[in-house]
Structure 1
Amino acid sequence: MIQYIVAEWRKLHKVQLGLIGLLMLGISSVIGFGIYYMNRAVFIEDTQSIVMWGQLTFYYSQIFYPALLAIFVGLCFMPEFERTTLEMLQANHVSIKKLVVSKLLNLLLLLLPIQLLLVVFWLFALWLDQITVFSELVLHLKWIFLSLIGSLGILSLQAYLFVKTRNIAKSVAYAAMGAVGGFVLLFIGDRLPLFYPYSQPMIALRSRALVDFPRSELVLFVGINLLYCAVFYGLTVRELQKRP
């Protein structure tokens, strides 16, 4: 398995994907901070840090992040469909299951520093506002870790959509529609996003709740994401194995 991970890591366009991630994060951060500073005067004292976190992460996680994951998946899986790469891999008895797992793990590894930048941006903005919140840092790092778990379902779903369509534009469009659907669900009911795949990163980052997970909700969150991951991972492998 290690050999698969190393091989896929070498194939990954890390600089290109990293720049795309920074662009998405930068745009969403400008929007989030802009909304925060426009309304800062009405915030209750001692709530600025958590409100800023909510504004910073909400638009990123609910609107931009699903599209970012779709782009990452498309660029990661695309080389397998160039020329006869997939057929050659199958002819050489390369494990499709291990191939898909290694791609997903490498994407999570690449996403980690991008997600950590959320905390860096948040701390920098708080420093500019002369707000000290080191006591909250561990909690926010926990949410960053959980956001990677919340990414698994979307990564697996987008992997299946890309393998099915073999078209980045279509898979990104599906992700964009999924993100908009999650935004709409917020106006329908508070509990519906808990079960919606494209809302899982937002749930993980606590962008709306602004408080830590109750134990029951955390168990539900992990279970739902593992279920989505298992289902769409299986469908992705099955679709790849169907290719001649």
Structure 2
Amino acid sequence: MMTFEFKKIKKSAIPIIIVFFNLVGTLLGTMVFAFNRKVLLDGTQALVLWGQTVFYASQIFTPILIGIICSISCQFEESNKNWQRLLTIPVKPNRVILSKIVSLSVIMAISQLIVLLFYVLSALVLKVSFANHLLDFFLWSITGWLAAITIVSIQIFISLRLKNFAVPILISAILAMAGLMALFIGRSLFAIFPYAQIAVGLRTRALAPFTLPEFILFLLLNASYIILFYVLAVRQLKKRFI
């Protein structure tokens, strides 16, 4: 199952889309940092650059990116009637959905490494010293990736439910904007909103490691979202074809 999923991904435009979205998000954040650099203290520049670089990518571009790659992945099955074929082999619905989530989560891990690489390149170009914070940035990239799995799970369910390519992407864009609005409404709402979890995991606003209560809440919240929408996606697949 996993081998077939990766072959489909390789033949699609997903790799190009990932690089493009991450590059645009990084460039936007880097330009914002460069315009405001004069008012920053030298000791804070690496952290502020991180916050600016990954915030736009994680809060705006990455949820839309996930919406696109989930729609592409699910449309492979819709257009070729592969859902029915997989279930008549037979392959259990929970295994079908799990293979989707796992394969796209691996892709998002690669995407997160690209974001980290782009940050390093931005810091080198702008001559910002980041070595002392590199371990933090790597660890935050891991928690950001865990949060990306939440949105992957949600978008797979939405794509299955709507059987459409464009509408799930539009929904991901709307919810990404809603996550941005949640930040202005209140930090408590932002901390639990599903489409803000990548920014929370990457510490784009806090710019400091998780406290233990924050980390426990983050893990429990994202585990709950992933399990909930995995179960809903399996149920939706069964409802449609079994």
Report the TM-score, using the length of structure 2 for normalisation.
0.95
Cα deviation per residue 1:105-160 (whole Å; 9 max; x = unaligned)? 11111122221122222222222333332221111111111111101211111111
Partner of 2:228: 231
Alignment partner of 1:47 is 2:38 = no
Partner of 2:87: 90
> Secondary structure of the equivalent of 2:42?
coil
Cα deviation per residue 1:14-46 (whole Å; 9 max; x = unaligned)? 661111011111111121111110111011221
| Cα RMSD for the two superposed structures | 1.4
Measure, in 2, the Cα distance between the counterparts of 1:95 and 1:137. Answer: 42
Partner of 1:23: 20
Number of residues paired by the alignment? 241
Gaps of 5+ in 1: none
> Secondary structure of the equivalent of 2:187?
coil
Range moving further from structure 2, 108-117 or 6-15: 6-15
Measure, in 2, the Cα distance between the counterparts of 1:123 and 1:219. Answer: 29
Aligned-pair identity in percent equals: 29
Measure, in 2, the Cα distance between the counterparts of 1:151 and 1:220. Answer: 16
Report the TM-score, using the length of structure 1 for normalisation.
0.94
1:103 to 90, 100, 110: 100
Partner of 2:183: 186
Contact 2:23 2:118 survives alignment (8 Å): no
Q: Note closer, same or farther for the CA distance 1:193–1:162 as it changes in structure 2 (3 Å cut).
A: same
Contact 1:185 1:192 survives alignment (8 Å): yes
Alignment partner of 1:74 is 2:106 = no
Cα deviation per residue 1:50-83 (whole Å; 9 max; x = unaligned)? 0000000111111111110011111111122124
Within a 5 Å distance, the mapping from 1:167-182 to structure 2 comes to: 167-182=164-179
Gaps of 5+ in 2: none
